[in-house]
Amino acid sequence: MAHLGVLQSLELGGDLWQQLLATWIELEQKLCFVRDGGRKLLMKNQPPAVSSWFKNAHNVQFRPTIGPIKAYSLSWWKWWTFCQPEWHTSTGDEPTPLIADDMGKDWDFLLVGGNNGIMCLVFSLFWWGSALKKDQVE
């Protein structure tokens, strides 16, 4: 899987990053590596970098410019929050998803494999981590 090689090309987040990648691959295996099956994650509020990646045919070698890290961070969290079910979002000023024991609830809407699914989230985190790593070097 070429995607995995690209995602492992930089050391991002140590064990947590490797655990995320392993969990993602496990999910893709359970979904039989379906390219998209006609389903996709919600695209409203997605960061411009994700849109750019789609326009480049999900090319794993393409690294979109994410712009200022703070702006990307806000954009990413807005998108991720929008992807959450209503029962999993905060009612307060902070729009981030709630951290709660929701394992018994329906999460099927996020079980989207392939290019239009969780892979988008993983690559968007990769670009973010790459930008942070580059920022540390400069």
pTM, two decimals, is 0.78
pLDDT of residue 138: 46
pLDDT of residue 51: 84
**Domain range holding 86?**
2-137
- Please, are residues 7 and 63 in contact by the beta-carbon 8 Å criterion? no
Which residues does 95 contact at the CB level (< 8 Å), separation at least 6?
77, 78, 81, 89
Paired with 97 in beta bridges are 89
What total number of domains does the chain contain?
A: 1
Q: 98: which DSSP letter?
A: P
pLDDT of residue 71: 93
Q: 45: which DSSP letter?
A: T
Q: List the pLDDT tens digit at each of the 138 positions of the chain.
A: 567 767 777 777 778 888 888 888 888 888 776 665 566 676 778 898 888 887 877 777 788 889 899 999 999 988 888 887 766 666 666 556 555 555 566 667 677 777 777 888 888 998 898 888 877 544
